[in-house]
Amino acid sequence: MRFSLYTWLALTFTALFIAITTTFVWWTDNLATVTRAQAEQQLHLHLAAHLVQDNPLLAEGVYDQSGLENLFHTLMLLGPAFEFYFISPHGEVLAFSAKLGEVKRQQIDPTPLVLLQQTKAQQDSVKLPVYGDDPRQLTGTKIFSAAPVFRHQQLQGYLYIIIGSAKFDSIFAQLSGHSLLLQGGIGIALLLVFLFAAMLVMFLVITRPIRQLSLFIRQSEQVQFDLTRVPMLTWPHSHSEIAMLGNSVNTMLTTINKQFRTLTEQDSQRRTLLSHLSHDLRTPLASLQGYLELIDSKLRQCSHDNIPTEGLALWCRNALRQCDKLKLLVGQIFELAQLEAGQAKVNRERFPLAELVQDICAKFAPLAQQQGIQLIAPTQKQNVSVLTDMAKLERILSNLLDNALRHTPKQGKIEITVTATHTHTKLCVIDSGIGIAPADLPHVFKTSYQASNSNAQSGINAGLGLAICAELCRLLAIELSVNSELGTGTQFSLLLKNTDDCDNQL
């Protein structure tokens, strides 16, 4: 799934906002709890020592359970926020102010009590709060005040006072849910939600120009950078990075559009010139050819009447041959101009490929026999049906065969092979000619390119035949490739798809 820049910013900010808010709430709550515990323990740090000194029973170090329980009950009535316990030096709970059944532990850890005495002796409030076991709970701890009880320098135990009794915790929990506190919490929550919404709106405003710029570039690409078909965005002349980027994109697209129009006009002018040139040349050539044929026929008639016309007749025949070659060249120029201008139409039909190849080979057989070249065509057993434009495929094969005949010496061989698979049909024209140099292979399908070892004596060759083959193959969605070695021969391969979806590639 693809997200926009605004979506990514919103999701990232939401995750950070939740993480930071959760961490801040936890930290502030924990800090408030620790600070309150530290303050209360610091405030009541010497409470147990004062009670030991002011109570004769404890001051003398006399342990009397019933007396201590009455004392603790009285003290608890005076200070209901405290719980009183008498702890043995080993942590046993000997007496307490709570009711029977409320004390869950009979043994606590005396280590925090010793630690608190050391903290008081060092007068180091930084180490507070110190937490001790809560006898009312099996696992809980609370802040406390403690003082040792001695008798004749012998430690009898500790007066252990829990600061914040269970009753106090219950009242504090009820007050925490009070309506004023609830309203304050709701107010803070609403403030955070408003801040979150404001940040999202800010992101929306910041990313809106970027979204507009992205949409404008996408629309320009769809119309081939024709700025007359898409409205240009107006950006303020400011030092904003987005405005500067938008103005730069406008300048870039304007330059691209201007260059594209120039190239289109030049290409259109070139194609128009080629088309007009070929049309203008074909008419006088046809007229010249007609007159030469008429002269040639008259000269032949004069030769039958024993009128000496050998030299004149030879000149006329040479002129006719040159007219034929020039007519072929003009036809190739006209055909190439039509292909490049996209004016050629494709008429697809299904037909047997081997029959077409045999017909083409039959057409070139006299010329191959005249040059002493063996021409091998596929047999009927290799016949497969293909779906393409038969006339244009015939034109491709004729150009390839003509090219092979011009570059194959006497006693050479030209073979056409057809191989078919479930998805493709491969058609190859293989000759045993002079071959093509490796440096020339990437350029053989370019217009007017002739290889360094091209046979210039084999007739007129403007380098258009293979260029026409390449354009026709592109039009028919046929893959055209060439492999060659100098002195060994050349192989041109045509790869045709057997499916009917070739039209989708045009």
As assigned by CATH, the class of the 236-343 domain is mainly alpha
Which two tokens mark 387? 């779906």
What residue spans define the domains of the chain?
A: 44-176, 236-343, 349-505
Cα of first residue to Cα of last residue in the chain, in angstroms, is 31
Q: 88-97, 158-167, 239-248, 420-429 — which one is most confidently predicted on average?
A: 420-429
For residues 194, 196, 199, 203, the Cα torsion angle rounded to the nearest 10 degrees is -130
Q: 207-216, 258-267, 428-437, 462-471 — which one is most confidently predicted on average?
A: 428-437
Q: In what order do the strands lie in the sheet with 131-133?
A: 93-96, 82-87, 154-163, 141-151, 131-133
CATH code matching the domain that covers 44-176, chosen among 2.30.30, 1.10.490, 3.30.420, 3.30.450: 3.30.450
Contact 158, 147 (CB under 8 A): yes
3-state helix, strand and coil shares in percent for the chain, rounded to the nearest 5:
60, 15, 25
**pLDDT digit string, tens, across residues 377-389:** 887 666 688 999 8
What's the rounded mean pLDDT across residues 408-430?
90
- Given this model, what pLDDT does residue 497 score? 86
Answer whether residue 360 shows pLDDT above 80: yes
pLDDT tier, 181 (very low <50, low <70, confident <90, very high otherwise): low
Q: Please give the residue that has the higher pLDDT: either 15 or 381.
A: 15
Q: Residue length, the chain?
A: 506
- Given this model, what pLDDT does residue 480 score? 93
Considering the chain, what percentage of its residues have pLDDT values greater than 90?
Answer: 9
What's the rounded mean pLDDT across residues 327-334?
69
Answer whether residue 220 shows pLDDT above 60: yes
Instruction: Determine the Cα–Cα distance for residues 146 and 361; give it in Å rounded to an integer.
Output: 117
Q: Which amino acid is at 254?
A: T
Strands 154-163 and 82-87: antiparallel
- Given this model, what pLDDT does residue 280 score? 61
Answer whether residue 492 shows pLDDT above 90: yes
- Given this model, what pLDDT does residue 502 score? 45
Query: How many other β-carbons are positioned within 10 Å of the β-carbon of residue 275?
Result: 16
The secondary structure element, H or E, covering residue 287 is: helix 241-304
Instruction: Determine the Cα–Cα distance for residues 450 and 29; give it in Å rounded to an integer.
Output: 86
Q: Please give the residue that has the higher pLDDT: either 378 or 457.
A: 378
Mean pLDDT rounded to a whole number for the chain: 77
What letter would DSSP give residue 89?
T
pLDDT tier, 106 (very low <50, low <70, confident <90, very high otherwise): confident
- Given this model, what pLDDT does residue 460 score? 44
What CATH topology corresponds to 349-505?
Heat Shock Protein 90 (3.30.565)
Instruction: Determine the Cα–Cα distance for residues 43 and 212; give it in Å rounded to an integer.
Output: 64
Q: Please give the residue that has the higher pLDDT: either 85 or 80.
A: 85
